[in-house]
Amino acid sequence: MSAPIYLDHNASTPIDPDVLETIVRVSRDSYANPSSVEHSQGSAAARIVETARAQIAAQINCKETELVFTAGSTEANNLAILGAFRTVQEAGRPHLITTKIEHPSVLACFDHLEGQGARVTRLGVDEAGQISLDELTEVLTDETGLVSIMAANNETGVLQPILQAGQIAENAGALFHTDFSQASALVPLDLKNSPIHLASFSGHKAYGPKGVGVLYRSIRKPRVNLAPVMFGGGQEKGLRAGTLNTPGIAGLGHAFELISKNMERDRERICALRDQLEKELKETLQVQINGNTEARLPNTMSITIDGVVPQALMQKLRNNLCFSASSACSTEHVETSHVLLAMFGDTPRARNAFRLGLGRQTRQEEISEIVKHFARASSELLLLRTN
């Protein structure tokens, strides 16, 4: 039996073979602690880390000294939001703004800070899944210290106007953070010429390894001062304690170098496949596309098939396709996605949404096969429902 077709690139991308070779080589040959710079092998490991830092900085156009390595974008989000709060609070700016559709690692940080005395405003979105810049402008006050808005939603692929939002925040004297994880491999970013002060990235969303990420924090005007949220040996200029993951960091740097080489080609090819898949699904089934169909990642679609429950669809197709439901299933109940709830309320459209995410390994000849699988499984489920 052939392996299922992988349509869950938003959850995790397959590691690029060249990146894997880099990780294996560094794991084998450069095992010294990069903090042990007093001997030659430690110095060699430290150079590998700094090479990766330079590769990432070149792709997103920032200074190497503005990058802090983490264990992924969840940690990067925590360091950005929790780490910035002390500074903005001391400056008399305890008001924070985010959106209702952020990744849980962002939402949980704001929930925590709210319990610590912060005042948090959570922006809603329209049915296209986008925030209102007018609403952002209205809720900003002289006490707003930080605004955090994701670049691309992990469930719908919808892009937010982060450059405009960042400029609005900066004009009001607030720091601006964006979780850029989902957009890393498919959306160009020029941090030097942007109003973004903090940005989070993760390796496994960009054909790199799991367990490694990076946080950008501006050291230009305004200089972002962060308080550490982990304590220990003082690595990464005291902002992130813990022995650096040299092989993972090397893989992350290599993955970002490949992004710079492949992005334009990837965007064009993957978007064409996504559009073809969407067209054939619409011709075959009663489907609704969830979210803005223009301002979205080129690889992503969130869809609802009338009358079809995603968990049943996933179970029926588990040997054929790998994809994700937007709702979370537990032993006792199904919880509708907070993203789809924000867009549509507690409706069948929200409850029955699921996500398809294409990637570099998706092939042209797979598109019609994917449609056939969905058509067969949906027909069987609808038939069971009517009987």
Residue 330, pLDDT score: 42
Q: For 161-200, what is each residue's pLDDT tens digit?
A: 999 999 999 999 999 999 999 999 999 999 999 999 999 9
**Position 285 confidence tier, pLDDT thresholds 50, 70, 90:** very high
Query: What's the 3-state SS for the chain?
Result: CCCCEECECCCCCCCCHHHHHHHHHHHHHCCCCCCCCCCHHHHHHHHHHHHHHHHHHHHHCCCHHHEEEECCHHHHHHHHHHHHHHHHHHCCCCEEEEECCCCHHHHHHHHHHHHCCCEEEEECCCCCCCCCHHHHHHHCCCCEEEEECCCECCCCCEECCHHHHHHHHHHCCCEEEEECHHHCCCCCCCCCCCCCCEEEEEHHHCCCCCCCEEEEECCCCCCCCCCCCCCCCCCCCCCCCCCCCHHHHHHHHHHHHHHHHHHHHHHHHHHHHHHHHHHHHHHHCCEEECCCCCCECCCEEEEEECCCCHHHHHHHCCCCEECEECCEECCCCEECCHHHHHHHCCCHHHHCEEEEECCCCCCCCHHHHHHHHHHHHHHHHHHHHHC
329 an active-site residue?
yes
Domains 5-12+263-386 and 17-258 share a fold: no
**Position 40 confidence tier, pLDDT thresholds 50, 70, 90:** very high
- Can you tell me the mean pLDDT for 347-371? 96
Q: In the CATH scheme, what architecture does the domain 5-12+263-386 have? A: Alpha-Beta Complex (3.90)
Residue 329, pLDDT score: 43
Residue of 62, 109, 271, 329 marked active site: 329
Residue 331, pLDDT score: 41
Residue 387, pLDDT score: 64
Q: For 97-124, what is each residue's pLDDT tens digit?
A: 999 999 999 999 999 999 999 999 999 9
pLDDT of 277 above 60: yes
User: pTM value?
Assistant: 0.95
Residue 1, pLDDT score: 62
Class of domain 17-258: alpha beta
Residue 151, pLDDT score: 98
Domain ranges of the chain: 5-12+263-386, 17-258
Residue 386, pLDDT score: 73
**Position 333 confidence tier, pLDDT thresholds 50, 70, 90:** low
